[in-house]
Amino acid sequence: MTPELSFRAGLKDVLPTVFGYIGVGLAFGIVANTSHLSLLMVAGLSFIVYAGSAQFIIASMLVAHDPLSAIMLSTFLVNSRMILMSTSLAQAFRHESLTKNLLIGSLVTDETFALAMNKRNRTEGHLSFAWQSAANVVAYLVWGVATILGAVLGSFIQNPTQFGFDFALTAMFIGLVYLQLISDKHLGLTRQLLVMIFVALIYYISLRFTSANLALLIATILGCFFGMELKKCH
């Protein structure tokens, strides 16, 4: 990854993450097919909802015939972390128009956010609309196509769990965490590990009193404050 912030550089930088989108996208398509979701519904979830973890949850809740209100609330809670990510990312686009910020925010994902944070480490904190748009659009299109292909392939796979497809999303997030740990020299390994341990503990404690989705939101927000305090101490 170079400091260049052109559209072409964005295409080049996002390519390594494409394999993650393909793997998880295929997994979702296969799982969705075995959950009896139509090809049109899979495409709609991928191109309109566009939220990997939430799409897995939506598919399972639809199969369980959960009410629409519960599905919408669960989707919001799972994706609420994107509010924090977009807020953080927006600091690099203060000079851009509201329209451009909305376009960036609507397509940002965990992967493109992590990619942007790594890029900022090499550009003294700078990003460009062209570079971020390239990363976002490629990720968006690859994810959509991969999920549709997965749904088609799903008709030939009766039990996707035997191939570990249900673990694909977890594996991808582990990879993102590792990439963050080794690339962000500004925060330091020790500080990042302390925040991770704190978030894990808060999440575990919160699970005793609330749902998993809400516990994740609470742990994320408190983790942000904890990280801020750590930066003040150093």
User: pLDDT tens for residues 116-165?
Assistant: 988 888 888 789 999 999 999 999 999 999 999 999 988 776 666 666 65
> 141, 167, 183: which is the final residue of a domain?
183
Q: How confident is the model at residue 42 (pLDDT cuts 50, 70, 90)?
A: very high
Amino acid at 208: R
Q: Do both 154 and 214 map to the same domain?
A: no
Q: Do both 176 and 191 map to the same domain?
A: no
Q: What is the span of the domain harbouring residue 216?
A: 185-234
In-domain check, residue 2: no
Q: Is residue 58 pLDDT above 60, yes or no? A: yes
Q: Do both 157 and 218 map to the same domain?
A: no
Q: What is the pLDDT of residue 123?
A: 84
Q: What is the pLDDT of residue 185?
A: 60
In-domain check, residue 166: yes
Q: How far apart are CA 203 and CA 218, in angstroms?
A: 7
Q: Do both 83 and 142 map to the same domain?
A: yes
Q: Is residue 184 pLDDT above 80, yes or no? A: no
Q: Do both 127 and 221 map to the same domain?
A: no
Q: How many domains does the chain have?
A: 2
Q: Do both 17 and 112 map to the same domain?
A: yes
Q: Do both 32 and 122 map to the same domain?
A: yes
In-domain check, residue 1: no
Q: How confident is the model at residue 53 (pLDDT cuts 50, 70, 90)?
A: confident
Mean pLDDT of 161-175: 61
Q: Distance of alpha carbon 120 from its chain centroid, rounded?
A: 18
Confidence (pTM): 0.72
pLDDT tens profile 8-41: 999 999 998 888 888 888 888 888 888 888 999 9
